[in-house]
């Protein structure tokens, strides 16, 4: 692999064994030196003869490369005095290749960054989802292939309605059966996520500056979505029964909404008892507040039957149900849904007309069949058993290894366990510092305190257990104990 000796082109190296042809390799390398600023405008280049000698290639090669550089405007020839880098390079060419702070564009390094993001490893106790190693991909890919072998034309055009009708029917049937929600496909809107459902509902129900009550602590993604929409959020404390009912005095005649997680409060994990549910419904009716029921992981209850949704108790049409497939399928599927009260269907159609849909139609037919054929319910049943064991393994390991440092609540639902710092641990370290130290021991632990908005934050960690086998859980708890002790 001959390399140039001449100082200006010292980095050029050609390899006859590699494609493309040598003259193209030379052209590309000189062009890149110019674009990255390492060869400066008006800088003199070696003669084609000298360079050929230097690189141990024929002069035809160097001549062909220089001709190409010249015809594309990178270099200029001066009669009798050789070749120079062009004095004026097309400006937009340089702007494309050079960052505004003057740092040379380094495609390889940027490629590397993307690569690292792609490969992010899911370490215990990442709480973002379920164990995808146990997902029935053979069946899922069969359903995807089937729906795309000869796709129905409407799937390929701009999506105008509330989503793929068979999927909306399947969701309505699933919720009627499992959660007691009396609804039909006409009330179901397919969205791309819970956060998008909330934005959609805000635009349907409220204007900028209208009041939205949010749970404190709560889900920061939703806080951020509301801030983006210009809503006036009112942080509402959560007690042992969940969302506490605010004052009956309306702050203003403007409409208002409350976003709550009655089935399993996020992030603390308690379930709202019936008496509190009825209190919330009475308050909503009396004050004209819309209740958005965020039901993000209620499929996973490990004792008794699945809970009835708050929407199933609502007689005044004020509850809107928001569901997501992020936890029950997998996060990157990016499909969620809304169940609207009948009175809101027309208003939602207007919103959809303005915003368009953001949910991709690609996987909707496959998901419809996955649910309608009973495979979704079977998958959930199977995972419920597995996750229940995993939650038990986590609790036992924490009780054995970290007793006295962490308080572990008794919960038998969900995919993450919130654990609280003892006074002693909280005096030594904050939960955000703990996250950094634990990351050094290959443990991912989401701190609890950033989930608080205005209430005094408790120090703790959210430990996702669903995606990890019992031995992975025990090994990670041992690493945690080493760090926290």
Nearest to ligand PLP of 130, 204 (CB atom)? 130
Nearest to ligand PLP of 23, 296 (CB atom)? 296
Nearest to ligand PLP of 48, 196 (CB atom)? 196
Least distance CB 294 / ligand PLP (angstroms)? 5
What is the binding site for ligand PLP (CB under 6 A)?
A: 193-195, 219, 261, 266, 294, 296, 324, 326, 331, 336
Nearest to ligand PLP of 211, 261 (CB atom)? 261
Nearest to ligand PLP of 54, 294 (CB atom)? 294
Nearest to ligand PLP of 262, 336 (CB atom)? 336
Least distance CB 301 / ligand PLP (angstroms)? 16
Least distance CB 200 / ligand PLP (angstroms)? 12
Q: Write a three-state SS string for the chain.
A: CCECCCHHHCCCECCCCCCCCHHHHHHHHHHHHHHCCCCCCCCECCCHHHHHHHHCCCHHHHHHHHHHHHHCCCEEEECCCEEEECCCCCHHHHHHHECCCCCECCHHHHHHHHHHHHCCCCCCECCCCCCHHHCCHHHHHHHHHHHHHCCCHHHHCCCCCCCCHHHHHHHHHHHHHHHCCCCCHHHEEEECCHHHHHHHHHHHHCCCCCEEEEEECCCHHHHHHHHHCCCEEEEEEEECCEECCCCCCCCCCCCEEEEECCCCCCCCCCCCCHHHHHHHHHHHHHHCEEEEEEECCCCCECCCCCCCCHHHHCCCCCEEEEEECCCCCCHHHCCEEEECCHHHHHHHHHHHHHHCCCCCCCCHHHHHHHHHCCHHHHHHHHHHHHHHHHHHHHHHHHHHHCCCCEECCCCCECCEEEEEECHHHHHHCCHHHHHHHHHCCCCCCEECHHHCCCCCCCCEEEEECCCCCHHHHHHHHHHHHHHHC
Least distance CB 411 / ligand PLP (angstroms)? 15
Least distance CB 331 / ligand PLP (angstroms)? 6
Nearest to ligand PLP of 61, 326 (CB atom)? 326
Least distance CB 62 / ligand PLP (angstroms)? 57
Least distance CB 326 / ligand PLP (angstroms)? 3
Least distance CB 144 / ligand PLP (angstroms)? 20
Nearest to ligand PLP of 31, 334 (CB atom)? 334
């Amino acid at each position: 692999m001959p390399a140039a000796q001449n100082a200006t082109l010292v980095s050029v190296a050609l390899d006859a064994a590699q494609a493309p042809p040598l003259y193209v390799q030379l052209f590309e390398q000189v062009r890149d030196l110019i674009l990255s600023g390492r060869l400066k405008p008006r800088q003199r280049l070696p003669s084609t003869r000298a360079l050929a000698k230097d690189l141990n290639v024929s002069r035809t090669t160097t001549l062909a490369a220089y001709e190409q550089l010249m015809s594309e405007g990178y270099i200029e020839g001066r009669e009798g005095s050789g070749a120079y880098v062009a004095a004026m390079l097309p400006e937009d060419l340089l702007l494309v290749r050079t960052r505004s702070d003057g740092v040379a564009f380094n495609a390889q390094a940027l490629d590397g960054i993307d690569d690292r993001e792609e490969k992010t490893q899911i370490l215990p106790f990442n709480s973002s989802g379920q164990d995808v190693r146990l997902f029935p991909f053979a069946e899922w890919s069969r359903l995807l292939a089937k729906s795309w072998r000869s796709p129905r034309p409407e799937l390929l055009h701009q999506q105008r309605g509330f989503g793929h009708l068979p999927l909306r029917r399947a969701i309505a049937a699933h919720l009627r059966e499992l959660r007691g929600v009396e609804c039909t496909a006409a009330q179901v809107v397919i969205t791309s996520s819970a956060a998008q459902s909330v934005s959609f509902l805000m635009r349907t129900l409220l204007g900028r500056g209208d009041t939205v009550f949010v749970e404190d602590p709560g889900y920061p993604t939703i806080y951020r979505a509301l801030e983006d929409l210009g809503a006036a959020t009112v942080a509402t404390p959560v007690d042992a029964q969940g969302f506490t009912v605010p004052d009956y005095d309306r702050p203003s005649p403007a409409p208002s909404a409350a976003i709550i997680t009655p089935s399993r409060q996020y992030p603390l994990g308690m379930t709202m008892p019936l008496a509190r549910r009825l209190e919330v419904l009475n308050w909503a009716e009396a004050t004209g507040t819309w209740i958005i029921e965020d039901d993000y992981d209620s499929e996973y209850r490990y004792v008794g039957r699945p809970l009835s949704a708050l929407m199933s108790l609502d007689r005044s049409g004020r509850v809107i149900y928001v569901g997501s497939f992020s936890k029950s399928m997998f996060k990157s599927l990016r499909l969620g849904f809304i169940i609207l009260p009948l009175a809101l269907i027309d208003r939602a159609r207007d919103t959809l007309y303005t915003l368009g849909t953001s949910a991709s139609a690609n996987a909707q037919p496959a998901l419809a069949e996955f649910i309608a054929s009973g495979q979704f319910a079977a998958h959930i049943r199977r995972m419920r058993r597995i996750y229940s064991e995993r939650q038990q393994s986590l609790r036992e390991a924490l009780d054995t290894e970290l007793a006295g440092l962490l308080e572990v609540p008794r919960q038998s639902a969900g995919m993450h366990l919130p654990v609280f710092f003892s006074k002693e641990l909280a005096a030594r370290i904050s939960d955000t510092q703990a996250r950094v130290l634990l990351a050094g021991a290959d443990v991912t632990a989401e701190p609890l305190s950033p989930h608080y908005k205005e209430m005094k934050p408790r120090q703790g960690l959210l430990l996702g257990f669903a995606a990890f086998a019992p031995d992975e859980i025990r090994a990670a708890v041992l690493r945690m104990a080493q760090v926290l002790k």
